[in-house]
Chains A and B, each alone.
Chain A
Amino acid sequence: MTSGALFIFGGLFGLGLIAGFFMHRSDFCLAGAFRDLFLFRSMHLIRPLVLAVAVTALLFELARMTGFLPYYPFPWFAPPALVNVLGGFIFGLGMVLTGGCVVGVLYKLGGGSFLAGIGILGLIAGSALYAEIHPYWRSFAETSRLHGQVVTLPQLAGISPTWWAGGLFLVGLTACFFWWREGLWQQKFKADGHIPLWVTALVIATVSLLAVKLSGIPMGITTSYAKFAAAAESVLAPEYVAATEYFAARSLDLTLPGTGQTLSGGGGARFDVVALVQYPLIFGIILGAFGSAVAVGEFKPRWSAPGRQTLMVFCGGVIMALGSRMTPGCNVWHILGGLPILTIQSLLFVAGLLPGAWLGSRFLQKILI
């Protein structure tokens, strides 16, 4: 690894540690935000998410205007396609059944949750399953493309991103202000060392900005689950994995900010550019949450969930992985990375995620009660 790549790896690992620590302390669960909205009509986790998106929109736009961002729009966001909605729907369903999104399961695993580990196994199995259907899905995805070149709403409308980002920030901030006037930010959590959700929302927005500065792209981690699947399958059938199109492809290129070095990557088990920008976040989040849980004496892994629930979490992980590969991308990538700059892909993903999470909540209630 070159010193430039090592700097990016180390920096992202540090950001992962911070994100994992704060997410564990606040139980900042993005899957829970949508689930609780439908299950309990509770907005307590949606509010910090709105704050995070609004502040991130402002930070990204200020950074773009001042030349702080290496690239704009961010690499790896493609023009919109109808599969973005479908993938979002499947992802939303899976994330609720798993009890956490692709990032949520990491901080919960670090906090000592066995079930989160089961969810991660489901994500790896689902990624392996996707690799089998990838050639067919890729052809279908191509036919569902809505536009050839345009990536963001500001590009589509031909209006400066400043107006859009400013509008998003003002709308989000206005909502947050009204919630504050009604005392809705003051919900008391009696967990040891609890950090208010709004603080973690601001920390996550800052971490997102720094991740973009370091690597050129916002936080995302799902392709790594495919890499873990490829590594596991390689132990049993290396020749089969080598011949599998999805694992063999290196379709993601990234020029590293600072070094100018262009690297490629994909879903295979190699240590490539995907691993360089995703592994440090994954291990950082797990370790950050682990440190937080140990510090408050709450790291107590317990194998006590009913078998039916364990099976549901595994299946949820499989479904969520399929959704993330079909879209492509996850909720953190789209909501905290794409939505603040209004990529059309991310808007379509969220449009699918909402009904998916609603359906997941209905299933969850029937399975748990």
Chain B
Amino acid sequence: MQTEIIEKDIRGQICPSSLLLALREINRNFDRLANGVLEIVVLTDNRDATGTIPTTVENMGLHSEVEKIAGYYRILVKK
């Protein structure tokens, strides 16, 4: 089965849009995330989000990967 990906581009937005919008998508799709059929990608230029999003999703029993791309960060939230 192919994994679906939802991508949210939050670059240039006010803090804490990255965490708020990531949480909204996670809560809306938690079962599919937890089953591994969905992954959420957040693109952000908010440095604080590279700590707050991973900590928050780990507390929810999920995992994350942070990667730097051309001056911004790609945060992958997955099972």
- List A residues at the B interface (Cβ < 8 Å): 24-25, 27, 29, 32, 35-36, 39-40, 42, 44, 99-100, 112-115, 187-192, 194, 297-300, 302-306, 309, 312-313, 365, 368-369
Q: Encode contact with A along B17-45: 1 for CB under 8 Å, 0 otherwise.
A: 10111001000000000000000000001
Q: In the bound complex, how far is the Cα of B50 from the Cα of A188, in angstroms?
A: 8
CB atoms of A190 and B66 under 8 A apart: yes
CB atoms of A189 and B16 under 8 A apart: no
- List B residues at the A interface (Cβ < 8 Å): 9, 11-17, 19-21, 24, 45-48, 50-52, 54-56, 66, 68, 70-73
Min distance, Cβ A101 to any Cβ of chain B, angstroms: 12
Complex contacts, B68 vs chain A, CB 8 Å: 192
Chain A facing B: main interface SS: loop
Q: In the bound complex, how far is the Cα of B50 from the Cα of A25, in angstroms?
A: 12
Q: In the bound complex, how far is the Cα of B50 from the Cα of A115, in angstroms?
A: 20
The chain B residue sitting closest to A115, CB to CB, is B14
Complex contacts, B14 vs chain A, CB 8 Å: 99, 115, 305, 309, 312-313, 368
Answer whether A100 and B55 are a contact pair too, CB < 8 Å, given A189-B47, A368-B21, A369-B21. no
CB atoms of A115 and B55 under 8 A apart: no
Q: In the bound complex, how far is the Cα of B12 from the Cα of A304, in angstroms?
A: 5
The chain B residue sitting closest to A42, CB to CB, is B52
CB atoms of B24 and A369 under 8 A apart: yes
Answer whether A302 and B48 are a contact pair too, CB < 8 Å, given A100-B15, A368-B20. no
Q: In the bound complex, how far is the Cα of B50 from the Cα of A192, in angstroms?
A: 10
User: Of A39, A112, A189, which contacts B48 at CB under 8 A?
Assistant: A189
